[in-house]
């Protein structure tokens, strides 16, 4: 981003979002309204998605992702799909296996705690 800014490209400042970890999803999905408001650059249109809500089309966008206050490394550039979050108003992002595959994830069912490490 620093190199891009040096040649005049504009990037919005980072914004924290509430995300849902979804080990069943092969890809990360962001709310379509969030992608538009944050001016995420669209890289592909009409990407077919199959969700619990049924089949739909989304747009792929380019983004970076970081995890402040953690030891998890920043993901500099990745593609995410933007779609409507009609049935999930409490989250702006669903983090799928394309991101989760970078880490070791442990879930303790008794306590409900999730531990993520590199």
In contact, 16 and 90? CB cutoff 8 Å: no
**Mean pLDDT calculated for residue range 17-21:** 90
Residues 6+ apart with CB under 8 A from 70: 116
- Pairing state of beta strands 104-108 and 113-117? antiparallel
pTM over cut 0.95? no
The larger pLDDT score, comparing residue 72 to residue 53, is at 72
Mean pLDDT of the chain: 87
pLDDT in tens, 63-111: 888 888 888 998 988 999 998 887 777 888 999 999 999 999 999 999 9
Per the listing, tokens 């593609």 go with 79
61: burial class by Cβ within 10 Å (0-12, 13-18, 19+)?
buried
Is residue 4 very low, low, confident or very high in pLDDT (cuts 50, 70, 90)? confident
C-alpha to C-alpha distances, 42 to 15, 35, 54, 63, nearest whole angstrom: 18, 9, 23, 10
> Does 54 score more than 90 pLDDT?
no
pLDDT at residue number 110: 95
C-alpha to C-alpha distances, 9 to 2, 5, 98, nearest whole angstrom: 9, 5, 27
Q: What is the CATH number of domain 18-117?
A: 2.40.70.10
């Amino acid at each position: 981003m620093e190199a891009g800014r040096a040649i005049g490209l504009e990037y919005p400042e980072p914004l924290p979002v509430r995300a849902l970890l979804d080990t069943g999803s092969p890809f990360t999905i962001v709310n379509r309204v969030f992608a538009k408001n944050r001016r995420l650059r669209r890289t592909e249109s009409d990407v077919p998605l199959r969700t619990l809500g049924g089949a739909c089309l989304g747009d792929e966008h380019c983004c970076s992702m970081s995890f402040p206050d953690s030891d998890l490394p920043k993901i500099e550039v990745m593609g995410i799909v933007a779609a409507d979050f009609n049935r999930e108003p409490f989250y702006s992002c669903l983090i799928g296996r394309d991101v989760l595959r970078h880490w070791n994830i442990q879930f303790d069912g008794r306590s409900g705690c999730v531990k993520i490490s590199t």
